[in-house]
A and B are shown apart, each in its own frame.
Chain A
């Protein structure tokens, strides 16, 4: 037999009254509603901020990469008899894609492409010790030129990309090569392809950095091409890229030829400039026609317009879009229409212009 004994001091068990349940339900619903709205807006806000931060980061990467190469554009040999900026011989900034794969035609202008060339200070650089026998023959180099490591063919090695060019005042002939083999004992360098011409003694040969930045409009990518093998995307979701050029307006604002020589930008003795004066002294915008209509410098297949030598400043305009279509809407703020219909899920395209004065373009 079991007897029930109530616990002393405890209330009798009881359920909720209807009023209590209703009030608790109402409070809970209100609370959950607020929490839900907060969670949704917080999640949206954080997603938008993440996309904005990502866009700013991509912008910094793109601009800093282009800016770095533009600052160095035109840096030439730093040692030996051939030292001096590249602008003394050829144009180190070209508004087109140059290189082995799918190059633009000579003397062309593409507003969304730029090729930049410079010689890294610490890499191989020397001169030819003798005339080349023919365009396909090995290149005889001075392996003991200043800065060349001993018994190394001046640090040239298979796979090194290099530029070869004649001395200033010899016509501006130049071309890019890739080293197939370097003969340390004989101090010769053999390129992968025969050259376009035989270069004379005292021509310079040096390791080179070539970068072509261009916009792949189909895939909306900023691409960078090294002129030989590597053609890779640098930044995604780039919807516009434009380069503008500002030049020294003075007709004599390009490197003069050496004593007794002439150049594509000067004629006669004493040398008289051939370029048109643009008036005043402030750097003037250079149009696409000014940069392609001559005077023509260099030799085929690497001819260029003499006005490229007067470039003093480059303006780079880049426009990026949010990665997620969820945050892109419609209208002029978006190059690519997206799905957003809400003011909170709204990340307009980011467009910025920078200007860079290449440090080696106004010294000779």
Chain B
């Protein structure tokens, strides 16, 4: 006579097991969505930093395009310095009623000082220069023109800061550029 042992009963998932599985799956999905949200924020941040850098470079190029040269004539032979002291770069297009490359007052990078700041919209277009920010403005840009201490007559230091208006100049998305221009 043979004796067999009955196999274990194949019980289904209990409701508790299904719920635990559901909780686990939802947790994983929530984590994944958090990662995606971080990716989206990083992409947006990269775009903002690209924009602030481009806008800072734009002002730097505008400053560098102003006359800061030596003019030489051959008859009679004369060499004299030529400096732009009238261009207002806080307007677009620039006008002839500003300080040009005259040394900027102290603190133009820390506060809105007339002729040394402007506002820009989300696409980087000029939006205004009044003390109260225009509704379309997204970025604020400030700059400074400083003679180099060791050769103030011939070398200028340009500093430009651009930041999202709602983040302030201390924002991690702010772009800061420094450049030196020497008379040619």
Say yes or no: is A103 at the interface (Cβ < 8 Å to chain B).
no
A24–B141 Cα distance when bound, in Å, is 59
Residues on B with beta carbons closer than 8 Å to the beta carbon of A45:
36, 40
Q: Chain B's nearest CB lies how many Å from the CB of A33?
A: 12
A269–B75 Cα distance when bound, in Å, is 9
The reply to whether B67 and A24 form a contact with Cβ atoms under 8 Å apart is: no
Stretch at the interface among A109-117, A288-296, A346-354: A346-354
- CB closest chain-B residue, reference A43: B36
Stretch at the interface among A4-12, A178-186, A233-241, A322-330: A4-12
Q: Chain A's nearest CB lies how many Å from the CB of B94?
A: 4
Q: Chain B's nearest CB lies how many Å from the CB of A267?
A: 15
A42–B39 Cα distance when bound, in Å, is 11
Residues on A with beta carbons closer than 8 Å to the beta carbon of B29:
34-35, 38
The reply to whether A16 and B18 form a contact with Cβ atoms under 8 Å apart is: no
The reply to whether A355 and B40 form a contact with Cβ atoms under 8 Å apart is: no
Partner of A34, one of B26, B43, B88: B26
**Residues in A1-50 with C-beta less than 8 Å from chain B:** 1-7, 10-16, 20, 23-24, 27-28, 31, 34-35, 38, 42, 45-46, 49
The reply to whether B1 and A1 form a contact with Cβ atoms under 8 Å apart is: yes
A354–B125 Cα distance when bound, in Å, is 11
Stretch at the interface among A88-96, A145-153, A221-229, A277-285: A277-285
Q: Chain B's nearest CB lies how many Å from the CB of A312?
A: 4
Residues on A with beta carbons closer than 8 Å to the beta carbon of B73:
256, 270
The reply to whether B61 and A15 form a contact with Cβ atoms under 8 Å apart is: no
Q: Chain B's nearest CB lies how many Å from the CB of A41?
A: 8
Q: Chain B's nearest CB lies how many Å from the CB of A63?
A: 8
A56-B50, A270-B75, A282-B86 given as contacts; is B96 within 8 A of A362 (CB)? no
A123-137 CB contact bits vs B (8 Å, 1 = yes)?
000000000000000
Partner of B96, one of A11, A35, A282: A282
Q: Please, how many residues of chain B have a CB less than 8 angstroms from a CB on the other chain?
A: 58
A99–B16 Cα distance when bound, in Å, is 78
A56–B32 Cα distance when bound, in Å, is 25
- CB closest chain-B residue, reference A312: B65
Number of A-B residue pairs having CB atoms within 8 Å of each other in the complex: 148
The reply to whether B88 and A282 form a contact with Cβ atoms under 8 Å apart is: yes
The reply to whether A60 and B15 form a contact with Cβ atoms under 8 Å apart is: no
A280-B86, A282-B84, A313-B61 given as contacts; is B47 within 8 A of A52 (CB)? yes
Say yes or no: is B149 at the interface (Cβ < 8 Å to chain A).
no
Say yes or no: is A248 at the interface (Cβ < 8 Å to chain B).
yes
Residues on A with beta carbons closer than 8 Å to the beta carbon of B11:
11, 13-14
B79-112 CB contact bits vs A (8 Å, 1 = yes)?
0000011111100011110101000000000000
A35-B25, A283-B94 given as contacts; is B75 within 8 A of A42 (CB)? no
A230–B58 Cα distance when bound, in Å, is 31
Residues on A with beta carbons closer than 8 Å to the beta carbon of B74:
256, 258-260
A35–B25 Cα distance when bound, in Å, is 8
A5-B6, A282-B94, A354-B54 given as contacts; is B87 within 8 A of A49 (CB)? no
Say yes or no: is A356 at the interface (Cβ < 8 Å to chain B).
yes
A52-B47, A259-B74, A356-B61 given as contacts; is B8 within 8 A of A46 (CB)? no
Q: Chain A's nearest CB lies how many Å from the CB of B145?
A: 15
Q: Chain B's nearest CB lies how many Å from the CB of A258?
A: 6
The reply to whether B10 and A27 form a contact with Cβ atoms under 8 Å apart is: no
Q: Chain A's nearest CB lies how many Å from the CB of B143?
A: 14
Residues on A with beta carbons closer than 8 Å to the beta carbon of B66:
281-283
Say yes or no: is A79 at the interface (Cβ < 8 Å to chain B).
no
A208-248 CB contact bits vs B (8 Å, 1 = yes)?
00000000000000000000000000000000000000101
Partner of B57, one of A7, A24, A354: A354
A218–B1 Cα distance when bound, in Å, is 90
Say yes or no: is A83 at the interface (Cβ < 8 Å to chain B).
no
Given contacts A7-B8, A27-B18, A253-B67, 5 further A-B contacts (CB under 8 A): A10-B8, A20-B12, A59-B50, A259-B75, A270-B75
Interface pairs (13), CB distance under 8 Å: A6-B6, A24-B13, A24-B15, A34-B26, A34-B29, A35-B29, A59-B50, A256-B73, A269-B75, A280-B96, A281-B66, A312-B65, A354-B61
